[in-house]
Amino acid sequence: MPARGNDSIYLTGPWTHRSVSANGTRFHLAESGDGPLVLLLHGFPEFWWAWRRQLDSLSRAGFRVAAPDLRGYGGSDKPPRGYDLVTAASDAAGMVRALGEANAVVVGHDWGGLIAWTMATYHPKVVRRLAIVSMPHPLRLRAAVLSAPFAQAKSMSYALGFQLPVLPERRLLSGGASRVGRLLSAWSGPGWPDQETERRYADAMCVPSVAHCALEYHRWYLRSRFRPDGIAYTRMMRSPIQVPTLHLHGALDPCVLPSAARGSGVYVEAPYRWRLLDGIGHFPHEEAADRFDFELRSWLADPEPER
């Protein structure tokens, strides 16, 4: 598979590109605006460009917005290790400090959502508010996967195939990473993505080592379940979240079912707001950016969000 150049990652727009060092790793991010920091964490199979609309809309609303490529993605370093949620949360906390801020509003989608949940538990002083998109609390997700009739386990069965060595990467990259577009279509609501979006994400997945690194997150999540690191993580995640939390989920999400995400508020002792978005699948911030931004900005403007 031929390597894609930097033009696949360093896309132009109303933002600037920069690198920061955090947790012993170099991270690429796109940044826009001035004001309180909002850190946007993408999921699989995307990269920082997933937040292109929010980089514009939130900066115009008076925020400083930073959208990094996670470890192993896009223009960030791709080390051989560190694809566990604890390390990823430390990466994100280090980015906040590297940007010169004591704390940030942290918004996470999909795997970025798992990282954000983890960050709020392991690095609570760095998280001012927490917004989770399309992802339950890690303990709620585990319970949903193990609960009869195992609907969530079936929805995430693709992750079992990712546990094999080498072959999943080859399948993901075959045909110019055409499977990326199929995953986006399968997990979204009607009418998304368009051809440009599919191409952007396919090109980004073809950057050398990205496919392997992206799948390493899935491998850690399943393989660590009965290892000491996974057991310690589960124990730590029982600590309640102490910051105001917004939880957005698409009603048509076939990847992470709404029934799996609902109930995550039991792990939050601070004000918690749940919003189920009708007609939207797994990518609310892209499928319905205006509605997503309205929910997020309304919550950010509320000094005392309701429980």
- Predicted confidence at residue 303, as pLDDT, reads 85
Whether pLDDT at 258 is above 80 = yes
- Mean pLDDT over all residues of the chain? 95
293 touches 57 (CB < 8 A): yes
Q: With pLDDT > 90 as the criterion, what percentage of the chain qualifies?
A: 93
Q: What is the pLDDT of residues 139-164, one digit of tens each?
A: 999 999 988 788 999 999 999 999 99
Where does the pLDDT of residue 6 fall: very low under 50, low under 70, confident under 90, or very high at 90 and above? confident
Tell whether 198 is covered by a domain.
no
Tell whether 121 is covered by a domain.
yes
Tell whether 265 is covered by a domain.
yes
Tell whether 60 is covered by a domain.
yes
Q: How many structural domains are present in the chain?
A: 1
More confident residue, 87 or 147: 87
Q: What is the pLDDT of residues 107-129, one digit of tens each?
A: 999 999 999 999 999 999 999 99
- What is the arithmetic mean of pLDDT over 11-21? 97
44 touches 214 (CB < 8 A): yes
Tell whether 167 is covered by a domain.
no
Those residues whose C-beta lies under 8 Å from the C-beta of residue 157, and which sit 6 or more positions away, are none
- Predicted confidence at residue 304, as pLDDT, reads 75
Tell whether 286 is covered by a domain.
yes
Using CA atoms, how far residue 304 sits from 78, 91, 211, 299, 300, in Å, is 40, 29, 41, 9, 9
Tell whether 201 is covered by a domain.
no
More confident residue, 5 or 292: 292
Q: What is the CATH number of the domain that holds 278?
A: 3.40.50.1820
- Predicted confidence at residue 306, as pLDDT, reads 65
C-alpha span between 61 and 36 (Å, rounded): 11
Q: What is the pLDDT of residues 175-200, one digit of tens each?
A: 999 999 999 999 999 999 999 999 99
Q: What is the pLDDT of residues 264-284, one digit of tens each?
A: 999 999 999 999 999 999 999
Tell whether 171 is covered by a domain.
no
28 touches 20 (CB < 8 A): no
Whether pLDDT at 4 is above 90 = no
Q: With pLDDT > 70 as the criterion, what percentage of the chain qualifies?
A: 98
Q: Domain of residue 81: give its range.
A: 12-155+222-301
Whether pLDDT at 305 is above 80 = no
